Chains A and B, each alone.
Chain A
């Protein structure tokens, strides 16, 4: 299996999904070798980055707990879910940190652009294919497609291409040609394609010219063992008594719709005052979003936390009275499930895969900021609404588990063997 992040060394939903899927597959008796580009998987200004080497070690010791999953590392600076413009942003941040830190980072040679990284990964992949014993090649998203294709060329084993996001999602419908070409080549040469939702499946069929029969849907899920909520102490974490908290958590990029979140927040604040909006995450639109809040004169109602990981994520979900995922285009979107896990009701955009499996939540079109504000206000004002959303949403959650997704995946494997 080719991927590029794995918890706790991950920055987005992809790592979480790979973790859950491999765990589910292992439960089904599948042995998984997970190949990923080692190295800093996430570049931010947060000091946690300095502990990256330590994180690497935790990472290694954790892996041994996953019986049946072997991990292989390949050096690379591949940051998940990013558009190539964003890669430059991350690379630049990384360089700044390197300078600040006196260049004490591991002297790996990082490619000047993302494509070079992708091809470097592909070269290593061929080597790995020689040493490993496997029956199926499974590749997660376009950056691993060249790697998986070279493994396929060498081994002649069937290739399953797993699409978690397309270039159309990342760029808001303005794909980069090189990325698109890599995606399409991977999809065409794959023996079968797995999409994380019908939403993504339709995108693959309509934008990549793939025959519908070749595309199967296996929805993402949540880790069953992890659905206990974080133990939240209101007395410790509550920011202000009687103040409601609305949370955005995700990369601050075009795809995630942070600008719609701010527009809706402005409308909410025109109706009620006791609300605070938290934006957790980083991304290339961050400064623009901060400026947007300032323009509307509502920046005092906003908190930008930067990138969060581990316990802090559960804690911030628990602090929130409502989680909002206003994505412009979201192939799946695992965060609403994590919010529900922490007993926080969710409002999601209809342009998301998760809305196919989650019925007990509030839904809006991402562009409809009036409706978004309307539903935010209702969720904050009526306890009966938020309680019903949590109670029934958690019932939904218990049906969305990785074991059933892994069973579907196993059927996909069997169909190409």
Chain B
């Protein structure tokens, strides 16, 4: 956490704050930060949390709603999903004084049914991957209306322009290498007249971690907003401003689950093999047992297992897009990650059983109290 704070979060937050000041509030950005990440900033790098507070105060930065634990809970337990989204919302209010209005699901996992569910939870917008196989000839640069929804606006990630920065920026084999701000701004400008919004959505670790500082990524980002603002038709908006400003171009029907992962843009990175299905089914099988104990420590430990990364590490389709999966993976193999996960899960199950055997809350848990929250 200290390392990534030093290499990425702190310098990038500082840069964004500087850009907001330099442009007198014309530059805007939206953040999607999980509850777990905010918690860990509080514990290991409080200065990162402080820098997010500063950004929140500018009024030019929006924070997006998501599951507290970066989980796949929507597909396995609606009850848990709602609880995690609410928990995240409360944390944003408490730490940053912000109430989110737009939702994005873990890994941009999305379909029609989710959009309806989110609309009913009161959100004005939702973000999804602008995958070719769902868009077809349509452009990701408009706001859409999910089928069967009445109010909610669907914002699509422009994956090509996003990935130009996130993945290809420092790749010397790319034909556009090296990427200059003038060239990139030119691509943005060329959308004028054939789109209302360009949603650039990328991993925050693009800045300083995926693309190291030595690639010139910070210099690029420091100049890009100025270059874009040179064109009189361009401006920056947060996600809810986009939702407020534009009417849907058309209905968009996305029946199957999509995501932003790999080439397939589907769920196979998390739920593609038997181990992943086995692990996640076992996890949600004990949900109600864990909740019925009323033990906050047990519940917290169980919830930490819902994080999608655990299942990502179990992915065995290394052959096609392996390098991305191996990156930031603490395990030597997907099998090792499965075994570690199942061991922890078994331990939780064991503790749940012990709880019922004793007919109440374990004494040791009572003494230590619930885990300290930030």
Interface residues in chain A, defined as those with a beta carbon under 8 Å from any beta carbon in chain B: 359-363, 374-375, 378, 382-385, 387-389, 392
Contact = CB atoms under 8 A, between A and B. Distances in A.
Nearest to B322: A359
A392 B275 contact: no
B339 A388 contact: no
Interface string B277-288: 111000000000
A293 B274 CA distance: 35
Given A360-B316, A392-B316, A385 B333 contact: no
Contact of B332 (A360, A363, A384, A388): A363
B126 to A, nearest CB: 33
A387 B333 contact: no
B342 A382 contact: yes
B338 A378 contact: yes
A359 B333 contact: yes
A359 B318 CA distance: 10
B333 A375 contact: no
Contacts of A388: 273-275, 316, 334-335
Nearest to B278: A384
Interface of B: 273-275, 277-279, 316, 318, 332-336, 338-339, 342-343
Given A362-B335, A384-B278, A378 B316 contact: no
Contacts of A361: 335
A374 B274 contact: no
30 contacts: A359-B318, A359-B333, A360-B316, A360-B335, A362-B333, A362-B336, A362-B339, A363-B332, A374-B343, A375-B335, A378-B338, A378-B342, A382-B275, A382-B278, A382-B342, A383-B274, A383-B278, A384-B273, A384-B274, A384-B275, A384-B277, A385-B275, A385-B335, A385-B339, A388-B273, A388-B274, A388-B316, A388-B335, A389-B335, A392-B316
Contacts of B279: 384
Nearest to A360: B316
Contacts of B273: 384, 388
Kindly name the residue among A361, A362, A374, A382 whose own CB sees the greatest number of chain B CB atoms within 10 A.
A382
B71 to A, nearest CB: 20
Nearest to A347: B335
A361 to B, nearest CB: 8
B316 A382 contact: no
A382 to B, nearest CB: 6
A374 B275 contact: no
Contacts of A389: 335
B278 A378 contact: no
B275 to A, nearest CB: 5
Contacts of B332: 363
Contacts of A392: 316
A375 B277 CA distance: 19
A392 B278 CA distance: 17
A131 to B, nearest CB: 50
A363 B333 contact: yes
B331 to A, nearest CB: 11
Given A363-B332, A363-B333, A388-B316, A378 B339 contact: yes
A383 B338 CA distance: 12
Top 10 closest pairs, chain A to chain B, by CB: A384-B278, A384-B274, A378-B339, A384-B275, A388-B275, A387-B274, A392-B316, A388-B274, A388-B273, A362-B335
A194 to B, nearest CB: 28
B79 to A, nearest CB: 25
Nearest to B334: A388
B339 A375 contact: yes
A209 B218 CA distance: 48
Nearest to B335: A362
Contacts of B316: 360, 388, 392
A128 B333 CA distance: 50
Contacts of B333: 359-360, 362-363
A375 B343 CA distance: 10
Contacts of A374: 339, 343
Nearest to B339: A378
A236 B289 CA distance: 42
A69 B334 CA distance: 43
A95 B371 CA distance: 71
Nearest to B279: A384
A389 B316 CA distance: 10
Nearest to B317: A392
Nearest to A375: B339
B155 to A, nearest CB: 37
A164 B334 CA distance: 30
A4 B316 CA distance: 40
A58 B279 CA distance: 51
